[in-house]
Amino acid sequence: MEPSKVVVAVAGLAAIVWVNWYFFLAEGRKAAVAAKVGATGLQQVVIRVEGGYAPSRVRLRAGQPARLVFDRREDSSCSEEVVFPAFGIRRFLPAHQRTGIDLPATAAGAYEFTCGMGMLRGSLVVEDA
Ligand SMILES: [Cu+2]
């Protein structure tokens, strides 16, 4: 292999390791943010989309429907879709807009959501009240 290709391969590998390390560590450090329950009983939380999801961990109550409002502050193609595999939901998030996604009442457990490519990650921590 040419030296320049070795440099590219090593740099690529280092980048992959760093990205994984960063996301695992960041995920563990962030406490889950609880959704606010409105007068209608609907639990709602606003998630900022800008290079990631903030908060990336959202706490919901089991057995109650929820609305997640994605506030997308960028036009990076990475974040233009959000996917909830467990709910069979894949939605387009227009840039610089808020998009509400309604989730059905669900059982306690952890549910992941990601961007369309699976690069940006967040999780729902659903707990019994
Ligand atoms: Cu992406």
**How confident is the model over 24-68, as pLDDT tens digits?**
655 555 678 888 888 787 899 999 999 999 999 999 999 999 999
Statement: residue 121 has pLDDT above 80: yes
- What does the alpha-carbon distance between residue 25 and residue 123 come to, in Å, rounded to a whole number? 14
CA of 42 to the centre of ligand 1 (A): 29
Integer-rounded Cα radius of gyration of the chain: 17
57, 92: one domain: yes
pTM of the model: 0.76
17, 56: one domain: no
66, 113: one domain: yes
37, 18: one domain: no
Task: Give 77's pLDDT tier (boundaries 50, 70, 90).
Answer: very high
CA of 21 to the centre of ligand 1 (A): 17
> Residue 18 belongs to what domain range?
1-30
Give how many domains the chain has, as a whole number.
Answer: 2
2, 19: one domain: yes
52, 8: one domain: no
53, 86: one domain: yes
44, 105: one domain: yes
CATH code of the domain in which 61 resides: 2.60.40.420
Query: Which residues surround the ion ligand 1 when the cut-off is CB under 5 Å?
Result: 78, 115, 117, 119
65, 119: one domain: yes
